[in-house]
Structure 1
Amino acid sequence: MTDYPPPPPPPQQPYGAGPVGEVPLSQPLRGAAPRDAIVRFFKKYATFEGRASRSEFWWAILFTFVVNMAINLILGADSTAGSIVGGLFALAILIPQLSVGARRLHDTGRSGWWQLLYLTCVGVIVLIVFWALPEKPEGDKYNVA
């Protein structure tokens, strides 16, 4: 009888690399395409638990920024209609923006309560830096089972 060597171990994936195929809504979508990120932004409208990847977060923020700019350009920021539509849009996306921001902070190992820094002038800069950081293993405690 001949002893065969054991098969080599499977290659290690870097931290944060997800499974191939459909990613459940409870998990962050790494390398999200713009359409997928925007769909998840609205599907997880008021979900503050869990995590969001950088691409999932930044595509959603870019989408809201572009829509807001389009409203201001088409209706005029100084017009009554522009103010009303812009205000309604801002109100409609307030909760999803806070929830995706909290999930993004969870992915960096921080609590979503850090978003209270919005209330300070310098805090917005700190939040942008936190949102831009890569995911950390400490964020696993925010995973949804």
Structure 2
Amino acid sequence: MSIPSAPPVGQPLPGASFGLAVKRFFQGYVAFSGRASRSEFWWAYLFLSLVTLVPVALMMLAMFGMFAGMIAAAAAADEAALLAAVTAGTGGVMLLSGLVLVVALPLLLPTYAVMWRRLQDGGFHGAWALLSLAGLAIVPTIMCILPARPEGIRFDPAYRAQLAAQHWYSQPGYGQQGYGQPTYGQPAYASPAQGPYGQPGAQPAAQPGVPGA
């Protein structure tokens, strides 16, 4: 019995496992179209938390050690020890801050991409994810908790392509008259007194001495 393959990134995969969700997270590195299921988003969210936990924890420990050394040196009135604690602590914090940036920056774009798709699976526009840039990350995060909604299908590329094809084929074609235009193959002027598209044509100039002129 063959195992059905997972749908491509952009189509939601309910019940995705941790490994599959992480794989799709990287496959959809810049995929902002389509949708993502809740399991895809929250497993990826857990992965991001675990990856950034180690460097952030080390940075916090370095800051704690720096402040502890400063307090001890100040209590002993040892200026040399105080200067050494500040220098070593600052260097360690800067080094670990750089490590956090090295880890977090490459993951920033796919993080927004998977949140964008998760919001669209819930029927919202993915642009709600940009609220996190204004310090309101809690808003789109809560929205990502909501279940999928049927209207989210409008964000699928295949669905949009289908609508575009239907719109194209519904337009008036050759041999069909639409929008008040003349049928293809027929002259634009139906009669000398009728202009194009049913508009009044040019009237003959009045002749001097002709009755009714």
TM-score of the superposed pair, with normalisation by structure 1? 0.78
1:132 aligned onto 2:132: no
- Give yes or no for contact 2:132–2:138 (8 Å, CA) kept in 1: no
1:53 aligned onto 2:53: no
Q: Residues of 1 paired with 2:141 and 2:112: CA distance?
A: 13
1:90 aligned onto 2:85: no
Q: Is the radius of gyration larger for structure 1 or structure 2?
A: 2
Aligned length: 124
The percent of aligned pairs where both chains have the same amino acid is: 41
- Give yes or no for contact 1:27–1:144 (8 Å, CA) kept in 2: no
Q: Could you tell me which residue of structure 1 aligns to residue 14 of structure 2?
A: 30
Partner amino acid for 2:118? R
Q: Could you tell me which residue of structure 2 aligns to residue 21 of structure 1?
A: 4
1:68 aligned onto 2:52: yes
Deviation of 1:30 (Å): 0.8
1:142 aligned onto 2:155: yes
Q: Could you tell me which residue of structure 2 aligns to residue 42 of structure 1?
A: 26
1:58-93 Cα offsets, whole Å, 9 max, x none, are 1111101111012233x4344333211111111111
Structure 1: gaps of 5 or more residues: 1-19
Tell me the SS of whatever aligns to 1:27. Answer: coil
Deviation of 1:110 (Å): 0.7
- Give yes or no for contact 1:54–1:134 (8 Å, CA) kept in 2: yes
Q: Residues of 2 paired with 1:91 and 1:97: CA distance?
A: 10
- Give yes or no for contact 1:37–1:60 (8 Å, CA) kept in 2: yes
TM-score of the superposed pair, with normalisation by structure 2? 0.54
Deviation of 1:44 (Å): 0.7
Q: Residues of 2 paired with 1:120 and 1:92: CA distance?
A: 20
1:87-138 Cα offsets, whole Å, 9 max, x none, are 11111111000100100000001111112221344x3222122100000001
Q: Residues of 1 paired with 2:97 and 2:42: CA distance?
A: 25
Q: Residues of 1 paired with 2:96 and 2:138: CA distance?
A: 28
Q: Please identify runs of 4+ aligned residues in structure 1 that moved more than 4 A.
A: none
Partner amino acid for 2:6? V
Q: Residues of 2 paired with 1:62 and 1:49: CA distance?
A: 22
Q: Could you tell me which residue of structure 2 aligns to residue 15 of structure 1?
A: none
